[in-house]
Amino acid sequence: MGVGAKEEDREEKRTVPEITLRPFTISDVDDFMTWATDDRVMRFSRRPTCTTKDECLTHMKDHIMPHPWCRAICIDDDGRPVGLVSVMPAPGADVHRASIGFDVAYDYWGRGVATAAVKKAASAVFEEWPLLERLDAVAEVNNTASRRVLEKAGFRREAVLKSYLVLRGESKDMIMYSLLSANSVVR
């Protein structure tokens, strides 16, 4: 990102975006394509960058529509999605744990959109899933943009997990972050 950290914070204090989260519909595909085909957004993603509308439609049908918790990030002017935030419950018996991920269209970077979306999503899932105690996320060591989002959203850095995932054919070291319901929810 071209904006330095301090400048970014000042910008955010001026214009904190009002965002809403809503489920996707298949008719969101054109807006979805805006970021899903953009390497600048997708280069750190587990998902490959889509290249065609058909690929995007398939991805939406196969992964987004059946997802346990996936939301379009909308900025309230016209309600059109500018990004995505999703929360995936941990496998098996760990019902107390889930992982969060997010993508925001490049033109909307630097405005605090992802941070606001992550905060809203965290609130929502801690409320909807009363057994949830831990929300975590991993980000590549040099994905400074996403790491700042998580830090600003109140996540705590826990560890560097070496060769944790293979992304785009290479094994990557990932930083594990977590947010506990005990630290963020008044129940």
Partner 1 sequence: MTWASDPRVTRFQRRGPCTSEEDARRYLADHVLPHPWYRAICVDGRPVGSINAKPGQGEERFKASIAYRLAYQHWGRGIATAALRAAVSSLLEEWPHLERLEAIAEVENPASQRVLEKAGFLREGLLRKYVMLHGKSRDVVMYSLLAAGPKLR
Q: Are 115 and 59 in contact, with CB atoms under 8 Å apart?
A: no
Distance (Å, whole) CA 174 – CA 187: 32
Query: How wide is the angle at C-alpha 43 spanned by C-alphas 88 and 108, nearest 5°?
Result: 80
Q: Does 3 bind partner 1 (CB under 8 A)?
A: no
Q: Does 52 bind partner 1 (CB under 8 A)?
A: no
Q: Give, as ranges, the residues between 27 and 46 that touch partner 1 (CB under 8 A).
A: 46
Residue of the chain from 12, 173, 184, 185 that contacts partner 1 (CB under 8 A): 173
Distance (Å, whole) CA 81 – CA 124: 18
Q: Does 176 bind partner 1 (CB under 8 A)?
A: yes
Q: CA distances (Å), 54 to each of 37, 125, 126, in order? A: 12, 31, 35
Nearer to partner 1, 31 or 136 (CB): 136
CB of 116 to partner 1, least distance (A): 24
Question: Which residue, chain included where needed, has tokens 């909807």?
Answer: 128
CB of 158 to partner 1, least distance (A): 5
- Which sign, positive or negative, has the C-alpha torsion 20, 23, 27, 33? positive
Q: Taking contact as CB under 8 A, which single stretch among the options 28-36, 67-75, 119-127, 130-138 is the one that binds partner 1?
A: 130-138
Q: At what angle do helices 144-152 and 113-128 cross, to 10 degrees?
A: 50
Q: Does 63 bind partner 1 (CB under 8 A)?
A: no
Residue of the chain from 1, 16, 65, 165 that contacts partner 1 (CB under 8 A): 165
Given the rule CB under 8 A, which residues bind partner 1?
Answer: 46, 93-97, 133-134, 136, 141, 156, 158-167, 171, 173, 176, 178, 180
